[in-house]
Structure 1
C-alpha cells in the first residue's frame, strides 16, 4: 500500500501546488452556487451550504475505503494488489477534492476537481493493460507514462474554453473502448454485466449533470437534484469498474 499511496500522493501534491499558482487563471470554471440547482440552506456552515451535494462525497470515501481494504482471504499478487490500491486511493481523495470545491468556491479546488478526473479515468486502461499483458510483461513505466500524459492533457483547458471537456471525452472513450476489447477477449457473463452497469453509470453521470437545472423544475429533483444523482452514478461507475477489473484480474490469474 505504501507504493500505491506514493504513486497517487506525489502527483496529487504537485497538482495542488500548480493549481494554486496563476497558471490556470484563464481556465473556465464555475465559482458560484448558481451553477448548482440545489438551493442553499441558510444557517448551515459553508461546507454544508448545499447539504446533499456536499454529503454525497462521503460515498466516494466509503467506496474507496471498501475497495482499499478488500479482499479478505482472496489471493492477489503484489502487482494486482497495487492496481486495486491505486484506484481505491484515487477514489478516497476525490471525495474531499469535490467537497472542498463546494465549501470554498475558489479557483484552485475547482481546477483540481476537473484535473483529478483525468488520471482516474486513465487508470482503467492502465489496469486493463496489466490484465492483457500479464504480470511478466507489464511494466510500471507503462503506468507512469499513461498517468503523466493524462495529467498533461489538462493543458487543453488552457488553450480552449472546452479543452477540459475534450480531454475528458477522450479519456472516457478510451476507457470504454479498452473495456469492451478486454471483455471480448477475456470476459464472461458476469464481467459483461459489470461492464454494462459501469457504462450506464457513466452515461447517467454525464446526462444528469448536464440536465441539473432543467430537472429541477420537477419536485423529485428539487432537493436531490440532477447533480446529486450524477454523483451517485459516478460512485456506482467507480464501484462497477472495480468489480469488472477485479473479476478479470482474478480470471486471468487462474488461466496462467
Structure 2
C-alpha cells in the first residue's frame, strides 16, 4: 500500500512538470543540445545500432532504474521484516521512485536531444536533493506533511529562476546541494558512527564527481582518446548513480541507529 501510494505521490508532480514543459513555458530557456556538447564519439562496435550515437552515455542511464529498483526492493524487504516504520519506508520509497523515473528522462534527453527533455533533466534534479533534506528533517524532528510539502513545492518552484537573466539553475542547484549537505551533517552529529561517516564521504565524493566530470567532459576528450568513449559525461553519470546508492546507505544506517536507540530507551 505504501509503495503504491508513494508511486502516485512521485508520479503526479512529475506529470505536472511534464505538462508545464510541454505547453512551452520554458521554451526560451537556453539548453545545450546536440552531440557537439558531448565528448563521446560513435562506437565502432557492430552490435550498436546507428541511432545510438553515444552508446555509453545512453546505456549508463539504465543504472538509475537499476539502483532505484534495487532500493525499492530493499525497502519492501525491510518492511516485511518489521525493520522500517511506515514513515521510514515512505521516505525511502519516494527517493527511489525518483531515481527510477529519472532513468527514462535522461535516456530520452541523450537519444533525442530535444529541448523539453533537457529542461526536465535539469528540473527533476532539484527535488532529488530536496528529498534528502526532507528525509533528514523527518529523522531529526518527525514527519510533518505541511513542512515536507512546503519544501518540495519550494524546490520545484526554484527552477523558475531559469527565466531570469541569471544562471538560475546553477544557483538553485548549489543551494539544494548545500541544504542536503547541511542536513546530512546534522544527522551525523546526532547519530555519529564510522559507517555513516564513510557513506557520507563516499556520497560527497560521488557528488563532486557528478558535477566536475560533467563540466570537464569536452576538456577530458581533448586530453586522451579514451575519454571520447568513456567520456567525462559518462563517468559523471556513474558518480551520480553511486551518489544515489551511498545516500541510501547513509540514511539507512542512520535510521537503523535511530531505531536501535529507540528500542534501548523502550526497554
TM category (shorter chain) comes to over 0.9
CA distance in 2, matches of 1:188, 1:44: 48
Q: Of the two, which has the highest radius of gyration?
A: 2
Distance of aligned partners of 1:190 and 1:125 in 2 relative to their CA distance in 1, 3 Å threshold:
same
Count, aligned residues: 252
Which residues in structure 2 correspond to 1:38-49 (within 5 Å)?
38-41=40-43, 44-46=49-51, 48-49=52-53
User: How big is the alpha-carbon RMSD for the aligned residues of Structure 1 and Structure 2?
Assistant: 1.4
1:210 corresponds, among 190, 210, 215, to 215
User: Structure 1-normalised TM-score?
Assistant: 0.95
Q: Is there any run of 5+ residues in structure 1 with no aligned partner, and where?
A: none
Q: Is 1:242 paired with 2:244?
A: no
Shift of 1:19: 0.7
Q: Is there any run of 5+ residues in structure 2 with no aligned partner, and where?
A: 263-267
Q: Summarize deviations over 1:145-200 as a string: whole Å, max 9, x none.
A: 11110000000011135110110011011111111121112121110100000001
CA distance in 2, matches of 1:70, 1:120: 19
2:54 corresponds, among 50, 55, 62, to 50
CA distance in 1, matches of 2:9, 2:253: 23
Asked if the contact 1:28–1:161 (Cα under 8 Å) also holds between the matched residues in 2, the reply is no
CA distance in 2, matches of 1:32, 1:194: 36
Moved over 6 A (4+): none
Q: Is 1:113 paired with 2:121?
A: yes
Find the counterpart in structure 1 of residue 32 from structure 2.
30
Shift of 1:21: 1.6
Aligned residue for 2:25, secondary structure, equals helix
Q: Summarize deviations over 1:12-61 as a string: whole Å, max 9, x none.
A: 00000111122101212111111110013488343x22100000001111
Q: Is 1:62 paired with 2:66?
A: yes
CA distance in 1, matches of 2:50, 2:91: 38
Q: Is 1:191 paired with 2:196?
A: yes
